[in-house]
Amino acid sequence: CSFVHELAHRAICPRFLFAQCPKEAVACRLAHLHSPHIQPHCIHFQNNACNRDPCPFAHVRVRQDAPLCRSFALNGYCAKGLACKDRHVLVCPTLAVLGKCTKPNCRWPHVD
- 81-106, pLDDT tens digit by residue? 999 999 998 888 788 778 888 888 88
Task: Kindly state the DSSP code that residue 15 receives in the 8-state scheme.
Answer: H
Alpha helices in 1-112 (DSSP H): 14-17, 43-46, 70-75, 93-98
Model-level pTM?
Answer: 0.76
Report pLDDT for 5: 58
Q: Are 9 and 75 in contact (CB under 8 A)?
A: yes
Alpha helices in 21-69 (DSSP H): 43-46
Close Cβ partners of 78 (under 8 Å, ≥ 6 residues apart): 37, 38, 69, 71, 72, 84, 86, 88
